[in-house]
């Protein structure tokens, strides 16, 4: 007889497997498009593009970010750069001033008002047909802009293109875990979402927009500290097409420690929950396409399922500890196992085990495809994958849970 | 404009694929679960054969048989099957197959108990017998603890044989034992020692004193011999 908890587990597991299979089927449908090498080296027309770099205490990374933009393979006279110091308290402004001498660079300094205010200041000073933002902790690959712009050339209806964001230098376990996650989420999943017309985030690192997007829909909003998600929601609501150019690579710095990663993800998940609440009237409505029927519901499901499974895990752990305490109180400390652990009979044969195995296989296939799309060759397993499973299985449910609680009690997470 | 239409066929196909994946998981679970049940049945059949053989041997040779009798042919595997059955109950739940095996197991325990009692009486071997009645964790908060106490005692005294019975086993032989010792489900856990029914949780010290008093057993010396004897001469104790 199944318990209520088992039934809930099976429902969550079913939809989690459904989401994974949906992405894999999308991949198979579009395999031929992905196999084609997009070796763009030139465009018919080079529209002017403005890149806005909002900075808040980024003195250490800013220089590399700006140099990566100046080194982009794009005509210099078609490229503008706006550097904005959003009330930094370190030497960011001095770092910005070093680039003020360049003719295509404009610099601004303002009081701290949040990333969206800095971006909006940049928007006010943008007079080009296209614009993008590059977070000051990221570096663009020299060919990235050219590749991104080629998508606009191919499709005049396109409103925004996101790049493949990968981890800059993955050295410790936390960064290496994120490297795998970025290959999965920011390369593979995002490309599949693009095929479905259902991208829900236009990330800070070098998403390129038509200026028309902001002219028609208005500037960036505060949006619970996730303005790059809100603008994508707003675009989807208005049926604006967003694509992903997986061949355009942007390298980003990722949190070095679990504590910093936790803070970042708490902010992202809190943003996801609250933007979804703000745009709840879009959910499950056919006219908003796969965005409303697949992307956002999958996110909600992932949030609830991870929290539930983690709760189940904690309950089992508490049960195990209390049983051990009871054993100790009853007969003292006994180290001899009660059953022969080498007998295969004692391996579980419950359906949950096989479902779990299938889920891990599906995730590994996704990791493999993410690696293949980003690095040109697939990888099912590496230490990075192990770190990914360890960190994201045990820590992610906690930030998900805290994001839910923060929403329930209206406690806004800090940016860093 | 984003005019990506919704492909309902794809939504349906993926639904069917996912259902298929779950179907495969359920099939694999059933298949491997069935293999385990077969394994348990096979072990139980072997035990039944062993017991029948011993009973026959005992009847044939009567008193002269003592030197030929040894417990290894009787119930060496009864302990193993008890542990496996307990695991299967936790893992698969009380499926009809598991309930059937539990009944079969209880019957084998009773047969082993009666035979060993006879051997012990006629041949003067020093064996101590404990009958242990328990029920589910929900209905008996102390049963788990009592099970632990008995397991520990069994490892301390190689000649102690513990036979455990689930109160809810739907088997007339078990019900007869409950009637004989007047055990009610409200008084579980219950331990029968030398025909004396002790209800409620009993501590290890209390039971140990009684074992020493009634059967004059000695505690094992040396872990090596104890481990060997414990597995050879005792049955699995269910801890709900």
Q: Determine the pLDDT at residue B238.
A: 54
Question: Between A217 and B56, whose confidence is greater?
Answer: A217
Structure tokens at A176: 């290496």
C-alpha distances in angstroms, A201 versus A173, A209, B157, B226? 26, 13, 68, 65
The C-alpha torsion from A8 through A11 and A15 to A20, rounded to 10°, is: 80
Backbone phi, then psi, for B133, in 5-degree steps?
Answer: -110, 130
Q: Is A8 exposed, middle or buried (0-12, 13-18, 19+ CB in 10 A)?
A: middle
Q: How many CB atoms lie within 10 A of CB B156?
A: 17
* Contact assignment for A358 to B149 by CB distance below 8 Å: no
- Cα B95 to the center of its chain, rounded Å: 17
Please name the member of B4, B25, B227 whose beta carbon is closest to the beta carbon of A351. B25
pLDDT in tens, A62-89: 999 999 999 999 999 999 999 999 999 9
**CA–CA min distance B35, chain A (Å):** 9
Please indicate, yes or no, if residue B240 is contained in any of the structural domains: no
Chain B CB within 8 Å of residue A346 CB: yes
Name the domain count of chain B: 1
Q: Which of A248, A254, A240, A178 is nearest to A206 (CA)?
A: A248
CA distance A390 to A383: 11
User: At B225, is the pLDDT very low, low, confident or very high (cuts 50, 70, 90)?
Assistant: very low
User: At B4, is the pLDDT very low, low, confident or very high (cuts 50, 70, 90)?
Assistant: low
Coil vs helix vs strand at A54: strand
Positive or negative, the Cα torsion across A212, A203, A373, A239? Answer: negative
Q: Determine the pLDDT at residue B234.
A: 40
Q: Is A317 exposed, middle or buried (0-12, 13-18, 19+ CB in 10 A)?
A: exposed
User: At B63, is the pLDDT very low, low, confident or very high (cuts 50, 70, 90)?
Assistant: low
Q: How many CB atoms lie within 10 A of CB A141?
A: 21
pLDDT in tens, B67-115: 655 554 445 567 777 888 888 887 777 788 888 888 888 888 888 888 8
CA distance B215 to A180: 65
Write down the residue that tokens 């587990």 correspond to. Answer: A9
Please name the member of A239, A350, A353 whose beta carbon is closest to the beta carbon of B2. A239
Name the domain count of chain A: 1
Structure tokens at A34: 């992905």
Structure tokens at A92: 């960011």
The C-alpha torsion from B43 through B48 and B49 to B53, rounded to 10°, is: 140
Q: Which of B25, B38, B226, B236 to mutate to test the interface with A (most CBs of A within 10 A)?
A: B25
Structural domain that includes position B210: 12-233
Please indicate, yes or no, if residue A278 is contained in any of the structural domains: no
Q: Which of A354, A356, A363 to mutate to test the interface with B (most CBs of B within 10 A)?
A: A354
Would residue B170 be called left, alpha or beta, if left means φ above 0 and alpha means ψ between -120 and 50 degrees?
beta
Concatenated DSSP letters for B178-204?
A: HHHTT--GGG-SEEEETTEEEES---H
CA distance A178 to A226: 19
A217 interaction partners in chain B (CB closer than 8 Å): none
In the predicted model, what is the mean pLDDT of residues B10-31?
A: 95
CA distance A315 to A309: 10
B14 interaction partners in chain A (CB closer than 8 Å): 18, 21-22, 25
Please indicate, yes or no, if residue A162 is contained in any of the structural domains: yes
Q: Residue B210: pLDDT above 70?
A: yes
**CA–CA min distance B150, chain A (Å):** 10
| Residue A269 CB partners (closer than 8 Å, separation 6+) | A303, A399, A400, A403
* Contact assignment for B2 to A327 by CB distance below 8 Å: no
C-alpha distances in angstroms, A80 versus A73, A267, A414? 13, 30, 31
CA distance B179 to A159: 82
Chain B CB within 8 Å of residue A356 CB: no
Chain B CB within 8 Å of residue A21 CB: yes
Please indicate, yes or no, if residue B183 is contained in any of the structural domains: yes
Please indicate, yes or no, if residue B176 is contained in any of the structural domains: yes
Q: What does DSSP say about strands B128-134 and B160-166: parallel, antiparallel, or unpaired?
A: parallel
Q: Is A76 exposed, middle or buried (0-12, 13-18, 19+ CB in 10 A)?
A: exposed
User: What is the CATH number for B39?
Assistant: 3.40.30.10
Please indicate, yes or no, if residue B7 is contained in any of the structural domains: no
pTM over the 0.90 mark:
no
Coil vs helix vs strand at A251: strand
Write down the residue that tokens 């820590």 correspond to. Answer: A395
Q: Residue B235: pLDDT above 50?
A: no
| Residue A124 CB partners (closer than 8 Å, separation 6+) | none
Q: Determine the pLDDT at residue A180.
A: 92
| Residue A139 CB partners (closer than 8 Å, separation 6+) | A64, A65, A68, A168, A250, A251, A252
Please indicate, yes or no, if residue B239 is contained in any of the structural domains: no
CA distance B37 to B33: 6
Structure tokens at B19: 């259902």
* ipTM confidence score: 0.88
> In the beta sheet, which residues pair with residue B166?
B134
Tell me the mean pLDDT per 10 residues along chain A, length 416: 84 94 96 75 92 93 94 94 94 94 94 93 96 93 94 94 92 93 93 95 95 96 92 96 93 93 93 96 94 96 89 90 88 71 80 91 91 79 88 88 87 68
> In the beta sheet, which residues pair with residue A250?
A140, A165
Structural domain that includes position A81: 42-256
Concatenated DSSP letters for A145-200?
A: HHHHHHHHHH-TTEEEEEEEEEES---SHHHHHHHHHHIIIIIIIHHHHHHTT---
Quick one: chain A helix, strand, coil %, rounded to 5?
55, 15, 30
Backbone phi, then psi, for B149, in 5-degree steps?
Answer: -60, -45
User: What is the CATH number for A72?
Assistant: 3.90.550.10
C-alpha distances in angstroms, B94 versus A336, B99, B134, B143? 28, 6, 16, 18
Q: Residue B30: pLDDT above 50?
A: yes
Output the average pLDDT for chain B.
79
CA distance A196 to A261: 29
Residues of B with CB under 8 A from a CB of A: 1-6, 10-11, 13-15, 17-18, 21-22, 24-26, 28-29, 32-33, 36, 39, 83-84, 87, 91-93, 144-145, 148-149, 151-152, 155, 204, 227
- Please tell me the total number of residues recorded for chain B in this structure: 240
A29 interaction partners in chain B (CB closer than 8 Å): 10
Q: How many CB atoms lie within 10 A of CB B194?
A: 12
Please indicate, yes or no, if residue A60 is contained in any of the structural domains: yes
Q: What does DSSP say about strands A158-167 and A208-210: parallel, antiparallel, or unpaired?
A: antiparallel
């Amino acid at each position: 007889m199944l318990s209520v908890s088992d039934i809930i587990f099976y429902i969550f597991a079913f939809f989690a497997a459904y989401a994974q299979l949906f992405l894999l089927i999308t991949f198979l449908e579009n395999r031929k498009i992905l196999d084609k090498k997009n070796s763009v080296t030139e465009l018919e027309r080079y529209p002017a593009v403005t890149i806005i770099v909002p900075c808040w205490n980024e003195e250490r990374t800013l220089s590399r970010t700006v140099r990566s933009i100046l080194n982009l393979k794009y005509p210099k006279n078609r490229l503008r750069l706006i550097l904005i110091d959003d009330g930094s308290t370190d030497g960011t402004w001095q770092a910005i001033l070093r680039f003020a001498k360049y003719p295509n660079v404009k610099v601004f300094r303002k009081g701290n008002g949040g990333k969206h205010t800095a971006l909006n200041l940049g928007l006010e000073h943008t007079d080009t047909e296209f614009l993008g933002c590059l977070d000051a902790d990221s570096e663009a690959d020299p060919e990235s802009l050219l590749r991104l712009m080629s998508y606009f050339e191919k499709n005049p209806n396109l409103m925004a293109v996101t790049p493949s964001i990968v981890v800059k230098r993955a050295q410790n376990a936390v960064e290496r875990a994120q490297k795998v996650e970025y290959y999965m989420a920011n390369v593979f999943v995002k490309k599949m979402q693009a095929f479905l017309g259902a991208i829900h985030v236009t990330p800070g690192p070098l998403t390129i927009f038509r200026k028309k997007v902001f002219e028609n829909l208005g500037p960036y909003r505060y949006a619970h500290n996730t303005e790059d998600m809100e603008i994508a929601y707003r675009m989807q609501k208005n049926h604006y097409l967003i694509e992903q150019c997986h061949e355009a690579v942007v390298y980003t710095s990722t949190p070095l420690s679990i504590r910093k990663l936790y803070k970042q993800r708490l902010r992202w998940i809190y943003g996801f929950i609250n933007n979804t609440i703000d745009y709840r009237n879009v959910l499950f409505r056919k006219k908003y396409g796969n965005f409303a029927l697949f992307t956002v519901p999958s996110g909600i499901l992932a949030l609830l399922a991870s929290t539930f499974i983690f709760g189940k895990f904690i309950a089992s752990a508490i049960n195990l500890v209390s049983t051990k305490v009871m054993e100790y109180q009853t007969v003292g400390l006994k180290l001899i196992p009660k059953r022969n652990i080498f007998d295969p009979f004692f391996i579980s044969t419950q359906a949950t085990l096989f479902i779990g195995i299938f889920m891990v296989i599906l995730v590994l296939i996704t990791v493999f495809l993410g690696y293949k799309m980003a690095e040109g060759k697939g990888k099912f397993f590496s230490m990075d994958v192990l770190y990914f499973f360890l960190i994201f299985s045990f820590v992610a449910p906690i930030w998900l849970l805290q994001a839910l609680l923060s929403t329930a009690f209206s406690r806004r997470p800090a940016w860093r | 404009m984003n005019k990506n239409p919704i492909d309902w066929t794809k939504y349906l196909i993926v639904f069917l694929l996912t259902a298929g994946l779950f179907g495969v998981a359920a099939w694999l679970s059933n298949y491997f679960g069935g293999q385990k049940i077969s394994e348990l049945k096979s072990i139980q059949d072997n035990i039944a054969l062993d017991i029948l053989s011993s009973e026959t041997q005992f009847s044939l040779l009567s008193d002269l048989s003592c030197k030929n009798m040894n417990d290894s042919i009787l119930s060496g595997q009864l302990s193993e099957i008890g542990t496996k059955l307990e695991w299967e109950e936790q893992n698969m739940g009380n499926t009809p197959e598991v309930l059937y095996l539990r009944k079969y197991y209880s019957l084998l325990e009773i047969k082993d108990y009666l035979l060993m009692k006879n051997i012990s009486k006629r041949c003067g071997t020093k064996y101590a017998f404990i009958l242990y009645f328990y029920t589910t964790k929900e209905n008996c908060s102390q049963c788990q603890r009592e099970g632990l106490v008995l397991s520990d005692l069994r490892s301390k005294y190689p000649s102690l044989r513990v036979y455990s019975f689930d109160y809810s086993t739907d088997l007339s032989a078990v019900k007869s034992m409950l009637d004989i010792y007047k055990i009610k489900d409200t008084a579980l856990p219950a331990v029968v020692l030398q025909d004396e029914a002790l209800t409620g949780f009993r501590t290890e010290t209390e039971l140990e004193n009684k074992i020493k008093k009634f059967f004059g057993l000695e505690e094992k010396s040396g872990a090596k011999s104890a481990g060997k004897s414990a597995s050879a001469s005792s049955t699995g104790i269910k801890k709900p």
